Amino acid sequence: MQNTPKRKKKNKALPLFVLVAILAVLAVAYFALSAANDKREAEEAAAAAADTTIMLAEQDYTAITELKYRTGGNDWITLNQSGGVWTLADDPKFPLNQSTAAGMGAAIASIGAIRTVEEGTAADYGLDAPACEIHVSYGAGTTYKYAIGDRNSFNNAYYFRNDDGAFYMIASGLLTYFQTDLADLIVLDTALATLTDADIVGFTVQDGDRTGEYRQTAEEVTAEDGSIGTVYSEDVTALYDLFCELDLFSWADYYADSAEMTEVYGIDQTRSLTLTYKKSVAVDAGTDAANGQTAGQTTKVDANYVLYFGKSGDGQTYYSPKGSTIVYTAADDVVNAILAYTAE
């Protein structure tokens, strides 16, 4: 009997797998297309939002020749700019913070409003007695006058009067630049960075003919628990604590020439505190490399930091760092405690 060949059994699940694969591909394509559409819509929305900004000024702040402003009823502060250098109009010797002045110039040269304000008077928006008035002049001889009024608490924006007299609302950022007085514009001397005990070499205290010399000492001691620590000179530690009280913050005069230093403030260099410390410096390729040091590395050398003391009045003593034209004040108690280290 002839064997009937067996038919191969058809896999009915195969078309289902193919269908699932096709659906998966279509789903990926759909979500990719949807994501692309969402991204495009977001970009279009952002562009539309950006387009709603009303530009009231688009100038080159480096072309500003004069920037004049006042907050509330305070005096006007006038800054001049020439060749990228800002100065105080009333006193070119004023140590003006260049980055702060440049930031103010950049802010007023590019003003964007949130929206216009069609109705009301200056009094309705605090623009009859502005929180801030700003006049800015450019090299072409053009001067623009602006004013910032009351704050709108609903959207945290400020009412603004443009140079043409129209009213707008602007973001709060512009006002923050001009809430700046002379104390915020001054650049003071930089205080010496905090030192470790090991970096302090010593102090020299001078008061007229009397001098006190104190050098750092270090002694290893063993505690009861067996741990080993280092004990440094008590006098040097005490003097350093007093030195840190002289923080170069409270200033009395931002520019005093040598005659004023002596005659007005009594700073004649006969009373002083000198801190000698280890300063990190770059290794010089030509000099120090010959001593076995590698150029580009750092090494430590002795350096001096000197403070001169002057007259006293109202519980404060005038003092100034060596080479500075700025006069500061410190409590008499602190200065007297320092000068006491010259006593025999």
- Which CATH number, 2.60.120, 2.60.40, 1.10.3470, 2.40.128, labels domain 197-342? 2.60.40
The backbone torsions φ and ψ at residue 257, rounded to the nearest 5 degrees and listed phi first, read: -75, 180
The residues spanned by each domain of the chain are 55-185, 197-342
Average pLDDT in the chain: 86
At CA 96, angle to CA 92 and CA 101, rounded to 5? Answer: 115
At CA 11, angle to CA 5 and CA 15, rounded to 5? Answer: 145
Per-residue pLDDT, averaged over 165-186, amounts to 94
pTM of the model: 0.73
CA dist 122 → 129, 149, 178, 211, 257 (Å):
9, 9, 20, 67, 47
Identify the bridge partners of residue 278 per DSSP, sorted by sequence position.
302
Percentage of the chain beyond pLDDT 70 is: 81
* CA–CA gap between residue 167 and residue 161 (Å, rounded): 5
Q: What is the CA radius of gyration of the chain?
A: 35
Per-residue pLDDT tens over the stretch 28-84: 444 445 555 555 555 544 444 445 899 999 999 999 999 999 998 899 999 999 999
Provide the pLDDT confidence category of residue 210 given band limits of 50, 70 and 90. very high
